[in-house]
Amino acid sequence: MINPIPTSHEEFLRRRYPKGDIPVNFKIGHQNEKDDTMGLYDSDSGGGDMSNYVTREEFKEEMRAMRSDMNNNFNSIRTDMNNNINSLRSEINANANNLRIEMQNSISKLPTNSDVKNMLLENNKELDKEAKQNRNTIIGWTIGIIGLGFTIAKSLGLL
């Protein structure tokens, strides 16, 4: 196990940044950047030159203008939304009316109860006719087969 040897801050920075490009924040004894900036603009932090500041009245006036702009924007948005909602409402009503008319037309095309009753009666009559025809056909075939049987039996001398 390696025992770390304590090093000075300068030694650490020299090892970490061998090219000497040490960030300003890590340097020891560097000058305060705020002091440099304030010296550059020939200003102190006490607010000496008040021409760069906004007065209370200017601030209030700007706030009134901003509120007025915001209210105008809100009113514009509200008007646009109301117009859109009204147009959607009228479109929905028109679609509902068209659907109602189409449904009434479809319902009016459906057969009435008496029409359905008449169709069922006619269908029952046709079924009865078919049943009679089938019954008569079966009876006819039965008589024919029996007659054929008697004829064959008579010709063979069995009767």
8 A C-beta contact, residue 38 and residue 44: yes
More confident residue, 38 or 10: 10
| Mean pLDDT of the residues in the chain | 83
Cα–Cα distance measured from residue 138 to residue 140, given in angstroms and rounded to the nearest whole number: 5
- Residue partners of 7: CB distance under 8 A and separation at least 6: 15
- Please enumerate in sequence order all residues whose Cβ is within 8 A of that of 13, keeping only pairs 6 or more positions apart, or say none: 22, 26, 27
The predicted model gives 107-135 an average pLDDT of 91
CA atoms within 13 A on the CB side of 101: 6
**Per residue in 44-66, pLDDT tens?**
555 556 666 778 898 899 999 99
Q: For residue 125, what pLDDT band results from cuts at 50, 70 and 90?
A: very high
Q: Which tens digits make up the pLDDT trace of 61-119?
A: 999 999 999 999 999 999 999 999 999 999 999 999 999 999 999 998 888 888 889 99
Q: What is the pLDDT of residues 28-43, one digit of tens each?
A: 555 555 555 555 555 5
Does 27 have pLDDT greater than 70? no
For residue 5, the model assigns a pLDDT of: 74
